[in-house]
Amino acid sequence: MAADQTETSPARRYAVTALKLAVSVVLLAVLFTRVDVHQLWASARRASLSWLVAASAIYLLTLVAATWRWKLLLDAQHVRISGPTLLGSYLVATFFNNFLPSNIGGDVIRIRDTARAAGSKTLATTVVLTDRVIGLIALVLVAAIGATLGSGTAGRAPSPIWPSWLWAGFVVAAVISAPAVLAPAGLTRLLQPLTAIHPEWIGERIDKLTSALERFRDRPSALAGCFLGALIVQGGLVVYYLALVWALHIDMRLVDLAVIVPISFVVQMLPVSVNGFGVREATFSLYFARLGAPIQSAVLMSLVGAALMMLFSLTGAGVYVARGHR
């Protein structure tokens, strides 16, 4: 029985990866039938090198800010790791996110790199998940602000997404997340039935999770700083794409990018494609079309943005190789 599970598990993973690849290929193929590929390539070649360099610098700053907010959460748990060490880990995680079929790989790297200092994989996982949740809430907030500002601008098409939807999503996410920190004991009671599966193993992890949440509750400044860092990261990514549209000579407002960029990152979290390829380009294209902008511009911006991120993330490969030599 165990042998059968061992044999089918890799087959299942390969099947899921093949399905994701098929989704990405089909979506990209459909989009490329609607654009002039030669003109797309010509537009890419006319890109401003100086603005592409500026975009890369902005992307680096977002990674530094992301590392800073991660360190704030670790410090709140009395886990002391230097900033440069965490930055190296974040670069490696970014490399894995960009070159593995799923962005979960990067979180595994971050957990592995901090588990020893934390003295617990559960604690390291809790910190990374908290960082993820706060980042998602900040992402929705940035989109809500962008949609609100865009709807009030005269002479341009309003945001295709109603600001009220995004504000509602922000409030719901905050309301759902707050009790976990404000009342960890309630979460413990909620998870208690899981101990029926394995009382000792699961019970121990629930206790560690509760203790970690209690420490976060006692350090609200760390959570506030992490949320501020998340806003800086999400705002920086919007500015990153603004530098790209300037580099590619695309007519797109900052407030519109403030809506579609966060939404594209949410869509990419869905495990239906390989690293968001196809899904991301389709999301940009739909939004651009609603604004009356060319689909070709959306595809160009999306692909160049992804390529630049992947190129930059190769620094993480260098850090990973250097670790191996040490």
- What pLDDT score was predicted for residue 157? 57
E strand map for 196-295: none
Angle at 229 between CA 241 and CA 303, to 5 degrees: 20
Q: How far is CA 71 from the centre of its chain?
A: 17
- State the DSSP H helix or E strand holding residue 103, giving kind and residue range, or none if neither: none
Question: 34 with 294: CB under 8 angstroms?
Answer: no
Question: Which two tokens mark 171?
Answer: 């409030």
CA atoms within 13 A on the CB side of 275: 16
pLDDT in tens, the chain (326 residues): 444 444 447 788 778 888 888 989 999 999 999 999 899 999 999 999 999 999 999 999 999 999 999 999 999 999 999 999 999 999 999 999 888 766 567 889 999 999 999 998 999 999 999 999 999 999 999 999 988 887 755 455 556 778 888 999 999 998 888 888 888 877 777 877 777 777 777 888 888 888 888 899 999 999 999 999 999 999 999 999 999 999 999 999 999 999 999 999 988 888 888 888 999 999 999 999 988 899 999 999 999 999 999 999 999 999 988 877 55
* Helices and strands, number each (H, E), in the chain: 13, 0
With CA atoms as reference, report the closest residue to 178 among 213, 206, 212, 144.
213
- What pLDDT score was predicted for residue 130? 93
Q: At what angle do helices 220-247 and 121-151 cross, to 10 degrees?
A: 50
Question: Which two tokens mark 123?
Answer: 């604690």
Three-state SS annotation for 157-211: CCCCCCHHHHHHHHHHHHHHHHHHHHCHHHHHHHHHHHHHCCHHHHHHHHHHHHH
Contacts of 82 by beta carbon, 8 Å cutoff, 6+ apart: none
On the 0-12 / 13-18 / 19+ scale of CB atoms within 10 A, 49 is exposed
Question: 159 with 147: CB under 8 angstroms?
Answer: yes
